[in-house]
A and B are shown apart, each in its own frame.
Chain A
Amino acid sequence: MLEKIKQWIEVRIGLEELVNRHLRSYRTPKGANVFNTLGFVALVAFIVQVITGIMLLLYYVPHPDHAFQSVQTITNEIPYGWLFRLIHNIGSNIIIGVIIIHLIHVFLRVSYKKPREITWISGCLMFFLMLLTSITGQLLPWHQTGFWQTTVTSTIPAFLPIIGEGISSYMRGGEFVTGVTLSRYFSFHVVILPVLITALIGLHIMLIRRQGISTSPVVEPQKPSEQADTFKRESHVEGQPCFPHFSLKRLFMVMLYFSIIFFIMTFMPNLFLPPESNMPANPLMTPETIRPAWYFLAPYQLIKIIPNDLLGISVLAIFTIFFTFWPFFDAKEAERDIRKRLFMANTAVLILVVWVVLTIWGMYS
């Protein structure tokens, strides 16, 4: 019976040929490790967010009078609604963590160099869009935390001269955070941003499939002279097939991703839901501390400690531009092995340390 079903599918879509071409013949470079799977884990995490988001969307009401209650209903009345809400909530934080580690790994391996500049830029854009998705998602439950976080985050762009006020006003749909802001954020969170991210994921994956996964400069050193001026796909003939070797590594990391989600859900279910996130938004009552999500603590703290707000936001904007377009700032002829580029390695580590310190500082200030 099973054979018959397989044959039925085989005749129609050529499954065997599809698997052979895209999984068995597709080879991964020598020395590919679990860090190489983080892009795939981020993709799975995104799909999880979409699925759980759709489940929440079935019952969520994007109106200031009903949003909080509808989330309460999802959490308490709908069968296993709490599970979907918590996976969505915890998953939204894990996905950011996965992307950050993925970006750091790609950067330290100097995998962004020619011909992978577009892959790097599309990855950075996806990261920024994911952060925007988090910002817009925080407001939707219409609780105290989200309301006041939105109040603060939507104020920050106003520090930019000329266009700043416009951006802030556009984000809120007026002077204050109101129902207009909620419907605006809702549209961005559930339609506009996911569509843009999906398009970028398509581009990102297409580029990786066309170019092949980048080699590790440590395992397979590449000389600058080897950088061709014509398109050349890295087929990694000496590497291992994607299936089952690399696919099992990916599957292991996906299991780890789910284990982390359920570990947090079991032992720290309110890790990303502070007490104020279970209180309805009250514009007349400010929580004692308004703290952005952990991944925004470093930029938030930076703006707080730099005495001039404009300077603070400008430093952030410049860093973001440098980071996104780094492949074009980095020297074309330079070595790919970061261990041989002490200045760059030290600068990268210094920035990372400053980032961690600012995050911890922001957490306790």
Chain B
Amino acid sequence: MGCIDNLGDVLMMRHITAHLIFVVLLLAANIAAGGYRETFEREFMLSPWSIAKGETSACIQCHTSANMGPEMHKITREWKQSWHAKNNISCHDCHGGAPEDASVSMMHQRGFKGSPKDNEVPEFCGTCHIAILDNYLKSGHGKTFRDTADGPSCVTCHGSHNIQQASMDIINEQLCSQCHTYERAKEMKQALFIVENKLSNIGENLDRLKLLGINVKDEEQSFFRTHAEYRALFHSIDVDMVRTKSSDYTKRLEVIEGAIDDSYTKLAYRRNFSAYLFLLFLGLGIVVFLLSKSYENC
């Protein structure tokens, strides 16, 4: 209280103290009444809702429980990092079943498929990736798989739960030379190079434009179609066909690149227009300021 040497401050302190006593009493009563909810609500507020919702999925709940061994835990851990998880593809989308109800989640009557046997893998993944399955089955990879039941299937290159967005990096010496020489794969990688580079650049630019608020819905759809078709074509493992058709894909991608350029031009126009307005108001501000100064002593 040493610094309070003014009557006003002393009076104010008395007011505040009286009100604070009342407030503290009220607060104590409130805490006594509401404290029981504290832990739940803190977790509720800080834990993201989707995770809270995800935890209600019977598959994830069970596979992350203490009853399961580390191998089972690994499945959910890997899935959470995967391209599937990023695109909201959950366990039941591939394995079927009823994730909302643990008691019936693994019943075949509820569509539960379980894990596919090795020879069922292409059909399993092909449920969604239809065009790729067609080309794969006609390819050297698919034929070998069908004939020997031991050839490369989807999981050989892409893995099973930790599936990442495919890129040219998937064609590498370590992986391909498990079955054949890398030379053949290298030839394919070279054939893919131009289109794959364009795909990668366009993908990045579309993401960037989207985050800048540009509507690229049409370009995205066109990109998705071209991308999916090209990837399906690649699964034929036919280097000559990939080379022949690459120019068609290049043309289609150039159209999208044109639209992207237009979007950047639009952004540049917006920036220039805003800059013009900024300079205009700044200039007017300076004029008004000088005018107000001239009136100050009037």
Question: Are A and B part of the same complex?
Answer: yes
Which A residues are within 8 Å of any B CB, using their own CB?
Answer: 72-73, 75-77, 82-83, 86, 148, 151-152, 155-156, 158-162, 164, 176, 244-245, 248-249, 251-252, 255-256, 258-259, 262-263, 265-266, 269-270, 273, 275, 278-279, 282-286, 290, 304, 308-311, 314, 318, 322, 329-335, 340-344, 346
B282 in contact (CB, < 8 A): yes
Residues of A within 8 A of B174 (CB): none
B264 in contact (CB, < 8 A): no
**Contacts known (A160-B34, A286-B50, A311-B31); A155 close to B8, Cβ less than 8 A:** no
**Contacts known (A77-B215, A286-B48); A309 close to B38, Cβ less than 8 A:** yes
B3 touches A343 (CB 8 A): yes
Name the residue on A nearest B267 (C-beta).
A269
What is the bound-complex CA distance between A269 and B209, given in angstroms?
Answer: 13
Q: B242 CB to closest chain A CB, in angstroms?
A: 34
B254-298 near A? 1/0 per residue, CB < 8 Å? 000000000000000011011101100110110011011001101
A344 touches B292 (CB 8 A): no
B8 touches A334 (CB 8 A): yes
User: Which residue of B4, B35, B44 is within 8 Å of A310 (Cβ)?
Assistant: B35
What is the bound-complex CA distance between A201 and B10, given in angstroms?
Answer: 35
B35 touches A329 (CB 8 A): no
Residues of B within 8 A of A262 (CB): 274-275, 277-278, 281
Q: List 11 A-B contacts (CB under 8 A).
A: A155-B41, A159-B37, A244-B295, A245-B295, A255-B284, A270-B211, A275-B211, A283-B53, A340-B6, A341-B6, A344-B8
Q: B240 CB to closest chain A CB, in angstroms?
A: 41
Residues of B within 8 A of A259 (CB): 278, 281-282, 285
Name the residue on A nearest B24 (C-beta).
A318
B21 in contact (CB, < 8 A): no
What is the bound-complex CA distance between A319 and B5, given in angstroms?
Answer: 25
Give chain A's interface secondary structure class.
Answer: helix
What is the bound-complex CA distance between A308 and B30, given in angstroms?
Answer: 11
What is the bound-complex CA distance between A255 and B277, given in angstroms?
Answer: 11
Residues of B within 8 A of A86 (CB): 274
Residues of B within 8 A of A283 (CB): 49-50, 53
What is the bound-complex CA distance between A75 and B12, given in angstroms?
Answer: 52
Which B residues are within 8 Å of any A CB, using their own CB?
Answer: 3-13, 15-16, 19, 23, 27, 30-31, 33-35, 37-38, 41-42, 44-46, 48-51, 53-54, 88, 210-215, 217, 270-271, 273-275, 277-278, 281-282, 284-285, 288-289, 291-292, 295-296, 298
What is the bound-complex CA distance between A248 and B9, given in angstroms?
Answer: 38
**Contacts known (A286-B51, A310-B35); A341 close to B8, Cβ less than 8 A:** yes
B9 touches A342 (CB 8 A): yes
Residues of B within 8 A of A245 (CB): 292, 295-296, 298
Name the residue on A nearest B280 (C-beta).
A262
Residues of A within 8 A of B38 (CB): 308-310
**Contacts known (A284-B50, A343-B13); A310 close to B34, Cβ less than 8 A:** yes
What is the bound-complex CA distance between A259 and B270, given in angstroms?
Answer: 16
B53 touches A331 (CB 8 A): no
A331 touches B3 (CB 8 A): no
Q: B73 CB to closest chain A CB, in angstroms?
A: 22
Q: A283 CB to closest chain B CB, in angstroms?
A: 7
A335 touches B212 (CB 8 A): no
Name the residue on B nearest A342 (C-beta).
B3
Name the residue on A nearest B292 (C-beta).
A248
A285 touches B270 (CB 8 A): no
**Contacts known (A72-B215, A333-B7, A343-B3); A286 close to B49, Cβ less than 8 A:** yes
A284 touches B53 (CB 8 A): yes
What is the bound-complex CA distance between A311 and B289, given in angstroms?
Answer: 48
Residues of A within 8 A of B23 (CB): 318
B215 touches A252 (CB 8 A): no
Q: B98 CB to closest chain A CB, in angstroms?
A: 17
Name the residue on B nearest A303 (C-beta).
B45
Residues of B within 8 A of A263 (CB): 278
5 cross-chain pairs, A with B, having the tightest CB-CB distances, nearest first: A334-B8, A286-B48, A331-B11, A255-B285, A161-B34
What is the bound-complex CA distance between A309 and B273, given in angstroms?
Answer: 47
Q: A172 CB to closest chain B CB, in angstroms?
A: 12
Residues of B within 8 A of A269 (CB): 212, 270-271, 274
A252 touches B3 (CB 8 A): no
Residues of B within 8 A of A279 (CB): 210
A151 touches B298 (CB 8 A): no
B215 touches A73 (CB 8 A): yes
Residues of A within 8 A of B214 (CB): 75-76
A308 touches B35 (CB 8 A): yes
Q: B56 CB to closest chain A CB, in angstroms?
A: 12
What is the bound-complex CA distance between A83 and B276, given in angstroms?
Answer: 13
What is the bound-complex CA distance between A62 and B251, given in angstroms?
Answer: 40
What is the bound-complex CA distance between A54 and B19, given in angstroms?
Answer: 44
B292 touches A252 (CB 8 A): yes
A266 touches B271 (CB 8 A): yes
Q: A158 CB to closest chain B CB, in angstroms?
A: 6
Name the residue on A nearest B209 (C-beta).
A278
B6 touches A308 (CB 8 A): no
Q: B47 CB to closest chain A CB, in angstroms?
A: 9
User: Which residue of A249, A286, A290, A343 is within 8 Å of B292 (Cβ)?
Assistant: A249
User: Which residue of A76, A83, A155 is within 8 Å of B215 (Cβ)?
Assistant: A76
Residues of B within 8 A of A342 (CB): 3-6, 9
A334 touches B292 (CB 8 A): no
Residues of A within 8 A of B4 (CB): 342-343
| Among A249, A309, A311, A330, residue most surrounded by chain B Cβ atoms (within 10 Å) | A309
Residues of A within 8 A of B19 (CB): 322, 329
B274 touches A159 (CB 8 A): no
Residues of A within 8 A of B88 (CB): 282, 284-285
